[in-house]
Amino acid sequence: MEKYSTDVFLTSVLGEKVAVLCGAQGNKMIFTNDGKLVTPWLPLSLRKIIIPDFDLDSSYIEGVSLFHNIQYDLLKPEALRQYIPVMDAMARAHLRDDGWKPHSTVKAQPLINKYIFELACRLFFNVTDPESMQRISRPFAPMRNGMMSLPIDLPWTAYGRGIKAGKKVREEMAKIVEARREERGGEETDLLSKMLELKDEEGKCLSVNKIVSFFVGLMVASYDTTASAATSVVFFLAEYPHVYEKVLKEQKTIAKSKAPGEKLTWEDIEKMKYSWNVAREAIRLVPATPGTFQEAMADISFAGFTIPKGMKTLWTPHSSHHNPEYFPDPKKFDPSRFEGSGPAPYTFVPFGGGPRICPGRTYAKLAMLVLVHNLVTMFRIEKVIPHEKMISGFAATPSHGLHLHLYPH
Ligand code: HEM
C-alpha cells in the first residue's frame, strides 16, 4: 500500500496476478458487484483438492448455486437455535474432561481446535465417536496445507500430499453419508439429515458425491476460521484482565438466572452483548481469514486504475480493520468501538459482505460465545508467555499455541 496506492495494488499469489483492494471503497465495490463486475474465484490447488471433479462435472456451477441456497437455509438463526443446548453440553464436557484442569497449565489453541472440530462433526453429520472423528481430522491438516500451495502434483510436495489427504477425507465422509442414507428415517438433528431430504430441480435426491463436496467445503470454510476466532477471543481475555472481569460479570448474571444444569438458549446469547463486542474486537484486530478472491467479469475502473477483465482480485479485512481513519488508535483493544451504531459500513468485514457474506457467521458467533460462557465461569486464565503474538496466515494463530495457567473461581 505504501509503495503503490492505499486503494489498490498489484501482486502475485500462487502464480496468479492479483489486484488487492484495500479499504472500505474496495470492499463495497466487491460486495455490491457480485455477478455483475466480479465472480468468485478459487486458486486451482484449492479447487482441485475440495472438488476433484470440478473440471469434469459441468453441473458443478449449478451445484454451487444450489449449495449457496442450502447454506443460507441450514445456517440461518432459526435453524441454529436448536443447536445451542448441544453446543453448551459439548463445551461443558470439553472443559471438564479434555485437559482443562484448575491449577494446571494448558496449551489452549490445539484444545480449542479440537473442540471446534468435534462440534462440527456432531452438528454437521452427528459423528461423535473419537475414532471416526480422528479418521477425518488426521488427513484434514495436510489437505488444508495443500490447498494454499503451488499446484505441483508430486508425492513430496504440499499439493501432492494435499490431493492424497483430500481423497481420504472425501472417502471417510462418503462412508458417513452412505451409512446414513441406508438408515433412512433416523432421528438425527444435524445438517446431513436435512441435506438427505433435499431434491434437485428434477425431484432427485442429491448424489453422495455432491453431498460430500458440500461437507468438505463447509468443513474447510468453518473449521480454521471459527477455531482461529475462538482462540483470538481467549487470547485477548487472557491479555486484558479488566476485559475478562466485565465478561465474567455478564456471564455470571446469565449463569445465575438458570437452574442447575439448564442449558443456554438463544435468549441467553442475546444477553451476551459485551462479550460479543469483545469477540468482534478480537476478530477486528486479528481477522480469521485473509479475505477471498474474485475474477473481474469486465474491465473495472477503480480509484483511477483499470482492473482488466479476467484479472483476479482479493479484498482483505486486514486493511480496513487497521485503518486509523475507520478505527482510531487501531492497535488498541477497545470493545466499546462496537457500542451504539458501531463501525461505518464496509469497514468491519470479518465475514465479508453482500450476497456472498459468510452464511456461517451466526454459527461462529454461537460457537464462540458458548465457549466463552463456559470458560470464564469455570476458570480464571493467565498467559504463560506474556508477549505472545497472533500470527496471520491461512487463519490467524497464536505464535506459541497460547499456554494458559488455569485457576478455579
Ligand atoms: C469466525 C469464523 C468465520 C469467519 C471469519 C468466516 C469468514 C468468511 C468469509 C470472509 C467468507 C467470504 C465472504 C465473501 O466472499 O464475501 C466466508 C464464506 C463462507 N463461509 Fe465463513 N467464516 C467463518 C465461519 C464459518 C462457519 C462456521 C461456516 C459454516 C458453518 C462458514 C461457511 C462459509 C461458507 C459456506 C462460505 C462460502 C459462501 C459462498 O460463497 O456463498 N463460515 N466466510
Residue 2 in domain = no
**Joined grid coordinates for residue 39:** 465472480
Residue 238 in domain = yes
Q: Of 26, 44, 17, which is closest to residue 308 (Cα–Cα)? A: 17
Q: How confident is the model at residue 336 (pLDDT cuts 50, 70, 90)?
A: very high
> Is any atom of ligand 1 closer than 6 Å to the C-beta of 290?
no
**Joined grid coordinates for residue 58:** 459441468
Residue 1 in domain = no
Gap between the Cα atoms of 99 and 323, Å rounded: 39
The answer to whether residues 208 and 170 touch, using CB atoms and an 8 Å cutoff, is no
What mean pLDDT, rounded, does the chain reach?
91
> Is any atom of ligand 1 closer than 6 Å to the C-beta of 353?
yes
Gap between the Cα atoms of 394 and 405, Å rounded: 28
List Cα–Cα distances, 157 to 45, 132, 145, in angstroms. Answer: 12, 27, 10
Q: Of 315, 320, 325, 240, which is closest to residue 283 (Cα–Cα)? A: 320
Residue 250 belongs to a domain with what CATH number?
1.10.630.10
Q: Any idea which of 187-191, 255-259, 269-273, 405-409 has the lowest mean pLDDT?
A: 187-191
Residue 173 in domain = yes
> Is any atom of ligand 1 closer than 6 Å to the C-beta of 191?
no
Q: How confident is the model at residue 58 (pLDDT cuts 50, 70, 90)?
A: very low
**Structural domain harbouring 326:** 8-408
* Residue 245 CA, ligand 1 centroid: distance in Å: 31
* pLDDT (tens digit per residue) in 89-137: 999 999 999 989 999 999 999 999 999 999 999 999 899 999 999 999 9
Residue 364 in domain = yes
CA atoms 75, 76, 79, 81: torsion sign: positive
* pLDDT (tens digit per residue) in 19-34: 999 999 999 999 999 9
Query: What's the average model confidence in pLDDT over 59-73?
Result: 59
Question: How crowded is the C-beta side of 77, counted as CA atoms within 13 Å?
Answer: 7
Residues across the chain: 409
Gap between the Cα atoms of 25 and 16, Å rounded: 23
Quick one: pLDDT at residue 204?
84
**Joined grid coordinates for residue 99:** 485437559
* Residue 359 CA, ligand 1 centroid: distance in Å: 6
Using the predicted structure, report yes or no on whether residue 156 has a pLDDT greater than 60.
yes
Q: Of 145, 146, 97, which is closest to residue 118 (Cα–Cα)? A: 97
Burial of 138 (0-12, 13-18, 19+ CB in 10 A): middle
Query: Which residues sit in the known binding site for heme?
Result: 358
Into how many domains does the chain fold? Answer: 1
Residue with more model confidence, 54 or 259:
259
Report for 202-211, 216-225, 352-361, 368-377: range of highest mean pLDDT: 368-377
Strand partners, 205: 199
**Pairing mode, strands 300-302 and 305-307:** antiparallel
> Is any atom of ligand 1 closer than 6 Å to the C-beta of 351?
yes
> Is any atom of ligand 1 closer than 6 Å to the C-beta of 119?
no
Residue 3 in domain = no
Residue 144 in domain = yes
CA atoms 330, 357, 359, 196: torsion sign: negative
Query: Which residues sit in the known binding site?
Result: 358
* Residue 56 CA, ligand 1 centroid: distance in Å: 26
Gap between the Cα atoms of 130 and 233, Å rounded: 27
